[in-house]
Amino acid sequence: MGRNPVTWLGSPTFPRAARTALGDTQLRTNLRKATTTIRAKRARAVAELADWERLRRAGEAIKNDVLANLDTYLVRLEEAVTARGGVVHWARDAEEANRIVFDLARAKGADEVVKVKSMATAEIGLNEYLRARGVRPVETDLAELIVQLGNDRPSHILVPAIHRNRSEIKEIFSRAMAEPPDSDDPRVLAEAARRHLRRRFLSAKVAVSGANFAVADTGSVVVVESEGNGRMCLTLPETLITVMGIEKLVPTWRDLEVFLQLLPRSSTAERMNPYTSVWTGVTPGDGPGEFHLVLLDNGRTATLADEVGRQALRCIRCSACLNVCPVYERTGGQAYGSVYPGPIGAILAPQLAGDMTDKQAASLPYASSLCGACYEVCPVRINIPEALTHLRARAVEARPKHTAEALAMSSAGWVFRDPRRYEAAQRAGSLSRFLAGSDGTIKRLPWPGSKWTSTRDVPAVPKESFRMWWRRNRG
Amino acid sequence: MDSARSDILARIRAVPRRQPAPVPRDYDTARSVEDPVGLFVERVEDYRAVVRRVSEDELPQRIGDCLARRGVSNMVAPPDLPESWRWAGTRWSLDEPPLSLSEVDSADGVLTGAAVAIAETGTIVLDAGARQGRRMLTLVPDYHLCVVRADQIEVSVPEALRRLDPTRPLTFVSGPSATSDIELDRVEGVHGPRTLEVLVVDI
Ligand code: SF4
């Protein structure tokens, strides 16, 4: 098995990438505006529903049920999709999933496939795989198109081109389009994208999508979007291939009543996104005549096996946690060096990559201040701080055992593993100020901290922990 | 591949499991509001879609007003669209036999009914049933005029889902096609219809 492409090859560790990103003022301005805007809108959208907390608990419980009975539900989904004329494929890893999609596209004689924005296909590096074999993948989501035409990487789950401003986008379009836009007005740019893609939608033979949800009982697949490019891909081409992580199931149709309320309000802060499409197998005379569903493992079963880490599989990719994260707001998504940025990326990407000896992956659980804001907004109540501290401990355990630092850190790992212990330690840490010299650093800590201070100075813990500061200022 | 299937299932089954607590369903599965129709109208307007309330009798005339205002001359429609809805000032192409993609693409707009609507979210749900036609019809033309009957409006998402058959191809429409991908400026219409007009028929 090759390297799992969920983290980008050659990316620097998070602290190094973050330092570079912090120097980019344009990026920080764009991000700040974006996250502040979405944060405020989201709070309003959520406040409208008096039963929001109960919906969150239901969402959490439904996903826990899915994870506990994943085998049963997957088999049920397979039966239902097959009964309605769809074909189900299983893929252990990225390579296997890519090959299935490529073989299907080639069997249709397609040298181009239109794509709906999808985290799963980004995670497996499908575009690169297809391109290397002579099939052109065309991203049809406006932001993804900007990223693709700019030979760039996405920086946000929801608004992948948030790091680009209008004049940059105009330039990217002008270089790549037959009919370049004549102004940088967003309206004109969107119109240029519409013209650029329309011909492709009308002529594409094969489309590739992800899925937001699939209903085990009925075999129905759900895609949530705004622009209509999703509907184009799901409706017009003769063949539709959907690549879906095995955790994206819900047991019954009824369960969607929970997620169709949680997702749009958490994500785009709308009461409902402009378009949601639901299809079950094939419907003769309406939409694709052929439907393939690829069920993707790619590190998910390994993640499932980790009792603390598995909660990351509840994620519905709403990106609410990105927009509240003080670290993300300053570094942007690309610093995470992975398809999944922000707090969820910090816990999901290293688990899917499945290699804690990889320095970059192992640095991700440290990309956080543990302020807890992500946990508070998460519509499925993923305790991200808990998972972060747990994964920090795992990262430490994966390091070579004999270094002094590893020894000290593995006891630090015990503290990090539990947010309550961590906060207690931080409060106790304020005591350490008394131990600090006049330059504010502590020269020696008692064992096991001494193992660490023997190689470096430790900055004294500030009076107020970051978590406390955050709660006071933002919470 | 068969071995992939059995491998994945085996990996899942190797994980020790406890059955989690039952799903708490104490969230609202129905909500009552004083004026669901009024709420629906208000919420659709929030998406900057045009929405008007009309009576059954005046519906044909109002359809005509909408089309005239837009200067539309060439509309597509599902085959079972009521005769009286087909305003005489416009050329109508019914989707029977099925229109070609380029015929649908060259139309100015489409007129349909709906299956269900959701007041709280300002959503129209199409299920390819009566007066709605194939999904393509409401997707490709740039203008969608949609007739919703007041008795099709449910207040909340759970109430609406209960009325739908998940095995039909469903499209939930909440306002016109929109994007906020460029500096978070909302722009209507990228690929789907840029203009959505809704006529709510009071009953
Ligand atoms: S972790 Fe929670 S808040 Fe973050 S993207 Fe996933 S569901 Fe949304």
In the predicted structure, residue A194 carries a pLDDT above the cut 60: yes
Residues 6+ apart with CB under 8 A from A273: A224, A225, A226, A263, A264, A267, B174
What are the residues facing A207 on neighbouring strands? A114, A240
Tell me if A160 is assigned to some domain: yes
Output the residue whose Cα is nearest ligand 1's atom 4: A321
Distance from the CA of A379 to the center of ligand 1, in angstroms? 7
- One-letter amino acid of A227: E
Residue A145 or B109, more confident: B109
Task: Kindly report the average pLDDT of chain A as a whole number.
Answer: 86
E-state strands within A285-367: 290-296
Rounded to whole angstroms, the Cα distance separating A186 from A180 reads: 13
- CB-CB neighbors (< 8 A) of A305 in chain B: 11, 14-15
- CB-CB neighbors (< 8 A) of B29 in chain A: 257
Contact flag A193-B13 (C-beta cutoff 8 Å): no
Q: Are A56 and A266 in contact (CB under 8 A)?
A: no
In SS3 terms, chain B reads as CHHHHHHHHHHHHCCCCCCCCCCCCCCCCCCCCCCHHHHHHHHHHHCCCEEEEEECCCHHHHHHHHHHHHCCCEEEECCCCCHHHCCCCCEEEECCCCCCHHHHHHCCEEEECCCEEECCCCEEEECCCCCCCCHHHHCCCCEEEEEEEHHHEECCHHHHHHCCCCCCCEEEECCCCEECCCCCCCEECCCCCCEEEEEEEEC
- Which burial class, exposed, middle or buried, applies to A153 when counting CB atoms under 10 A from its CB (0-12, 13-18, 19+)? middle
Tell me if A446 is assigned to some domain: yes
In the predicted structure, residue A393 carries a pLDDT above the cut 60: yes
C-alpha angle A294-A361-A458 in degrees, rounded to nearest 5: 155
Same domain, A71 and A206: yes
Residues 6+ apart with CB under 8 A from A179: A192, A195, A196
- Residue of A248, A259, A263, A266 to mutate, ligand 1, most atoms within 8 A of C-beta: A266
Between helix A186-203 and helix A142-149 the angle, nearest 10°, is 90
Query: How is residue A460 annotated by DSSP?
Result: P
Q: Which atom of ligand 1 is nearest to the CA of A320?
A: 3
Q: Does B171 touch chain A (CB under 8 A)?
A: yes
Rounded to whole angstroms, the Cα distance separating A165 from A28 reads: 12
Residue A5 — pLDDT band, cuts 50, 70, 90? Answer: confident
Tell me if B8 is assigned to some domain: no
pLDDT value at position A469?
A: 59
Output the residue whose Cα is nearest ligand 1's atom 6: A315
In the predicted structure, residue A414 carries a pLDDT above the cut 70: no
Q: Which of A94-108, A127-141, A154-168 has the lowest mean pLDDT?
A: A154-168
pLDDT value at position A154?
A: 81
pLDDT digit string (tens) for A305-319?
A: 999 999 999 999 999
Q: Which helix (H) or strand (E) holds A139?
A: strand A136-139
Rounded to whole angstroms, the Cα distance separating B124 from B192 reads: 15
Number of domains in chain A: 2
Q: From B192, which residue of chain A is nearest by alpha-carbon distance?
A: A228
For residue A106, the distance in angstroms to the closest alpha carbon of chain B comes to 17
Tell me if A153 is assigned to some domain: yes
pLDDT value at position A132?
A: 97
- CB-CB neighbors (< 8 A) of B123 in chain A: 272
pLDDT value at position A379?
A: 98
pLDDT value at position A217?
A: 98
Q: Which helix (H) or strand (E) holds A207?
A: strand A206-209
Q: What's the token pair of residue A149?
A: 């035409």
pLDDT value at position A437?
A: 41
pLDDT value at position A18?
A: 82
Q: Does B89 touch chain A (CB under 8 A)?
A: no
Residue A280 — pLDDT band, cuts 50, 70, 90? Answer: very high
Distance from the CA of B154 to the center of ligand 1, in angstroms? 29
Mean pLDDT by 10 residues, chain B (203 residues): 90 95 96 96 95 97 96 96 95 97 96 98 98 97 97 98 98 91 82 94 93
Ligand 1 binding pocket, CB closer than 6 Å: A 266, 315-321, 344, 377-380, 382
Tell me if B44 is assigned to some domain: yes
Number of domains in chain B: 1
Residue A431 — pLDDT band, cuts 50, 70, 90? Answer: very low
Neighbours of A183 (CB within 10 A): 11
In the predicted structure, residue A405 carries a pLDDT above the cut 60: no
Tell me if A370 is assigned to some domain: no
Tell me if B74 is assigned to some domain: yes
Last residue of a domain, one of A243, A270, A301: A301
Q: Which atom of ligand 1 is nearest to the CA of A266?
A: 8
Q: Does A279 touch chain B (CB under 8 A)?
A: yes
CA distances (Å), origin B96, targets A415, B77, B81, B158: 69, 9, 11, 34
Contact flag B4-A92 (C-beta cutoff 8 Å): yes
Cα pseudo-dihedral B9, B13, B14, B19, rounded to 10 = 150
In the predicted structure, residue A150 carries a pLDDT above the cut 60: yes
What are the residues facing B51 on neighbouring strands? B198
Average pLDDT, integer, range A439-464:
45
pLDDT value at position A467?
A: 61
Q: Does B180 touch chain A (CB under 8 A)?
A: yes
Maximum average pLDDT range among A161-170, A455-464, B9-18, B178-187: B9-18
Q: List the domain range (segments joined by +) for residue A78.
A: 14-301
Distance from the CA of A61 to the center of ligand 1, in angstroms? 15
In the predicted structure, residue A243 carries a pLDDT above the cut 80: yes
Rounded to whole angstroms, the Cα distance separating B185 from B189 reads: 13
Last residue of a domain, one of A301, A330, A356: A301
pLDDT value at position A182?
A: 92
Same domain, A289 and A426: no
Q: Does A66 touch chain B (CB under 8 A)?
A: no
- CB-CB neighbors (< 8 A) of A37 in chain B: 184
Interface confidence: ipTM more than 0.85: yes
E-state strands within A249-356: 249-250, 275-280, 290-296
Q: What is the CATH number of the domain that holds A188?
A: 3.40.50.10420
Distance from the CA of A303 to the center of ligand 1, in angstroms? 16
Distance from the CA of A316 to the center of ligand 1, in angstroms? 6
SS3 category, A230:
helix
Q: List the domain range (segments joined by +) for residue B39.
A: 34-202
Contact flag A257-B29 (C-beta cutoff 8 Å): yes
Q: Does A232 touch chain B (CB under 8 A)?
A: yes
SS3 category, A215:
strand
Tell me if A395 is assigned to some domain: no
Tell me if B137 is assigned to some domain: yes
C-alpha angle A185-A190-A191 in degrees, rounded to nearest 5: 95
Q: Does B161 touch chain A (CB under 8 A)?
A: yes
Q: Which of A56, A101, A200, A260 to mutate to test the interface with B (most CBs of B within 10 A)?
A: A260
Output the residue whose Cα is nearest ligand 1's atom 2: A378
Rounded to whole angstroms, the Cα distance separating A294 from A211 reads: 10
Tell me if B79 is assigned to some domain: yes
Q: Which helix (H) or strand (E) holds A242?
A: strand A239-245
Tell me if B88 is assigned to some domain: yes
Q: Are A377 and A320 in contact (CB under 8 A)?
A: yes
Residue A12 or A229, more confident: A229
Last residue of a domain, one of A244, A270, A301: A301
In the predicted structure, residue A433 carries a pLDDT above the cut 70: no
Residue B175 or A431, more confident: B175
SS3 category, A91:
strand
A–B CB contacts, 8 A cutoff, strictly below: 230
Same domain, A48 and A194: yes
Average pLDDT, integer, range A155-182:
88
Q: Does A51 touch chain B (CB under 8 A)?
A: yes
Q: What is the CATH number of the domain that holds B45?
A: 3.40.50.10420
Stated pTM of the model: 0.88
Q: From B193, which residue of chain A is nearest by alpha-carbon distance?
A: A228
Rg (CA), chain B: 21
C-alpha angle A340-A343-A348 in degrees, rounded to nearest 5: 50
Residue A438 — pLDDT band, cuts 50, 70, 90? Answer: very low
Residues 6+ apart with CB under 8 A from A33: B183, B184
Q: Does A359 touch chain B (CB under 8 A)?
A: no
Q: What's the token pair of residue A246?
A: 């095995």
Tell me if B125 is assigned to some domain: yes
